[in-house]
């Protein structure tokens, strides 16, 4: 019985670790939109959008989206309060990565 309980607990812990690791967001860009250098996966921001179509627009033109972006959110998941394209409420988050903290800092709310 103890062995069965141990296996059950190990399975739950293993699944929990897998689920936690799976939540790491993947950036939509491969190069820094500011410098053009390779990205650092630890230097990311979340851009909130209203729908899948707007998420595709961010992925297609990260640099252009950042030019439209108003970094005004206090939410730790997103840097903006409204969709940069439609102005509507946020339903999805698109992750954008930068090469360093200096480039990321240009779009992080102050």
Q: Does residue 99 have a pLDDT over 80? A: yes
Helix (H, G, I), strand (E, B) or coil at 45: strand
Nearest 10 degrees: CA dihedral of 63, 79, 16, 42? 50
Q: What is the pLDDT of residue 83?
A: 96
The percent of residues above 90 in pLDDT, for the chain, comes to 72
Residue 106 has pLDDT above 70, yes or no: yes
A 10 A CB-CB count for 55 gives 20
Answer with the residue of higher pLDDT: 104 or 20.
104
Work out the widest C-alpha separation in the chain, in whole angstroms. 61
Tokens of 56: 């595709």
């Amino acid at each position: 019985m103890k062995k069965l309980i141990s296996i059950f607990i190990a399975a739950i812990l293993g699944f929990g670790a897998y689920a936690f690791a799976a939540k790491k967001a993947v950036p939509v860009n491969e190069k820094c939109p500011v410098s053009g250098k390779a990205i650092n996966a630890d230097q990311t921001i979340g851009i909130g959008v209203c729908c899948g179509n707007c998420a595709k627009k961010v992925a297609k033109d990260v640099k252009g989206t950042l030019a439209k972006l108003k970094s005004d959110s206090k939410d730790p998941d997103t840097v903006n309060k409204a969709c940069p394209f439609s102005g509507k409420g946020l339903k999805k988050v698109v992750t954008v990565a930068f090469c360093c903290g200096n480039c990321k800092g240009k779009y992080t709310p102050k």
